[in-house]
A and B are shown apart, each in its own frame.
Chain A
């Protein structure tokens, strides 16, 4: 079976004055049709840039090397192939729904435009289909909403509109980049629930990017943990939560506050800072913060290797 998205040895670098900052470093990733893949990492771990590169949205001072195939066709730096799928078969939603909609156009117009542009629908039918899609994403009074402007909607509503827009052309892959970060917690749960529902309904693959393990937890079948531009662990969701192999994953899991935990216990944090991007690393990037680090970690950078059910980039992974 051809994977929906296959990223191979993708590197993304930003040139800044004299330095070259490596945001994504030789990352490979596979998303099977209909699969939900989670990407977790701290700010600056390269998780967003990886998909910006795939979508051809990198700023002009960035350069990407490697390969990104969508349904078997190379789309990295192949403009014609990318243009054919971007916005129709391959869609993306962003972190901040407050600013992702064009302020001076009605919701209905913005939605319909996608259909007119990609499917050659007439404006009339496009608006009707847009209205139906708003119903699907559970926006009440969709008829009236079509005529409203983005400022008249709340953040959660706007994210629903963005999701509706991304679904219009029945994509085979939706990349959701921190879709709930700008929203408050109850709305967050609703949006995650909505993503689950539409994924099942449309049978599409979903990539969920987040810095929050708990957001990804309920939805993703496979979770990739990124650190300093690399994937350090990739495992089926359950396996990852039950038996984290990489010390970084283990530390992240300890940081999730628990409702049943001790009341006055301090929230767990991870000591230290991630390495500054731009430093070319010979050693394991996590070594300075790692409780298990040894001499070897400071000399040799570990590669991502299959170990039991998961892939881990660590010399001394925790045993399952």
Chain B
């Protein structure tokens, strides 16, 4: 657990893992492409080109990845969908990161009855069926992508809270916490300055692995029609659309599906690499 040397070491270990490096580059490329899409290809995601409905992919036409049944450009739509999926993945991860880390650190630090009560609440919440929960929320509040961020994030923090609580329980036994109390630091200060920085390792790893999970979950919800609504697109809605045309125009499924698969694979490989890189043998 060394600050300067620790980060440097981890970066060195990560860069000597070829799979993780490739994943990182590919992931960065996809994200860059998704962000820059409007400047790369002039087609709008929502314009209908009736002359080229369900056109095949090809470089000679204006639609590189072809078009869907309504003549919308698949390249632009896939990238817009990827942008949405990544945004949801990141936002929901950030929410659960923030909530989970503070909740877990507080429960673990105070221990005793506070911990009992807080962790029982976590258990009750994680007992709720997630899909049911999201449907419930969308029924009450109507559909919006912000609600999607919130509802996925609201459930995603549970595991994070458990991880952080476990780590905190072992950290709070250490003498530097006692020394910090003896030197007059308040509980909130100790949690923020002495506990949370020491759980960064597992938290970072779990957060990286959480992004693909959430993207997948969002796609799943969108596939069921609970997520992003037309004319907006996420990778999940695009796949759902593509499934209907699978036999006549397979590219409508394959292009966004492939994109989703590659993105998830990269995130997972990178997260694994990060875990290996941060996994220092306890000194």
A residues with CB within 8 A of B: 55-57, 60, 83, 86-88, 91-92, 94, 96, 99-106, 113-114, 117-118, 149, 151, 162, 165-166
Q: A165–B183 contact, CB under 8 A?
A: yes
Q: B179–A104 contact, CB under 8 A?
A: no
Residues of A within 8 A of B189 (CB): 117
Q: B176–A103 contact, CB under 8 A?
A: yes
Q: B179–A151 contact, CB under 8 A?
A: no
Residues of B within 8 A of A102 (CB): 176, 180, 193-194, 198
Chain B interface size band reads 20 to 34
How far apart are the CA atoms of A310 and B222 in the complex, in Å? 83
How far apart are the CA atoms of A87 and B180 in the complex, in Å? 9
Q: B2–A100 contact, CB under 8 A?
A: no
How far apart are the CA atoms of A104 and B183 in the complex, in Å? 17
How far apart are the CA atoms of A83 and B183 in the complex, in Å? 10
Q: A87–B3 contact, CB under 8 A?
A: no
* Smallest CB gap from A100: residue in B: B179
Q: A86–B182 contact, CB under 8 A?
A: yes
How far apart are the CA atoms of A266 and B110 in the complex, in Å? 50
Q: B182–A99 contact, CB under 8 A?
A: no
Residues of A within 8 A of B183 (CB): 86-87, 91, 114, 165-166
How far apart are the CA atoms of A151 and B2 in the complex, in Å? 8
Q: A83–B2 contact, CB under 8 A?
A: no
Q: A103–B111 contact, CB under 8 A?
A: no
Query: Is residue B112 within 8 Å, beta carbon to beta carbon, of the partner chain?
Result: yes
Most buried by B among A99, A103, A118: A103
Which parts of B95-152 form the interface with A (CB within 8 Å)? 111-112
Most buried by A among B186, B193, B198: B193
Residue in A60, A100, A114, A149 whose CB lies within 8 Å of B4? A149
- Beyond A86-B182, A94-B178, A105-B194, 8 additional contacts (C-beta under 8 Å) are A57-B182, A83-B186, A86-B184, A100-B179, A102-B194, A104-B198, A105-B193, A117-B185
* Smallest CB gap from A56: residue in B: B181
Q: B3–A149 contact, CB under 8 A?
A: yes
* Smallest CB gap from A61: residue in B: B112
Q: A87–B193 contact, CB under 8 A?
A: no
Q: A57–B178 contact, CB under 8 A?
A: yes
Residues of A within 8 A of B243 (CB): none
Q: Can you report 10 A-B residue pairs in the complex whose CB atoms are below 8 A from each other?
A: A83-B184, A91-B182, A94-B175, A94-B182, A96-B175, A99-B176, A101-B176, A102-B193, A102-B194, A104-B2
- Decide: A87 near B176, CB < 8 A? Known: A102-B194, A104-B198: no
How far apart are the CA atoms of A124 and B186 in the complex, in Å? 22
Query: Is residue B26 within 8 Å, beta carbon to beta carbon, of the partner chain?
Result: no
How far apart are the CA atoms of A96 and B179 in the complex, in Å? 10
Q: B193–A101 contact, CB under 8 A?
A: no
How far apart are the CA atoms of A114 and B183 in the complex, in Å? 7
Residues of B within 8 A of A100 (CB): 175-176, 178-179
Q: A55–B182 contact, CB under 8 A?
A: yes
How far does the Cβ of A161 sit from chain B's closest Cβ, in whole Å? 11
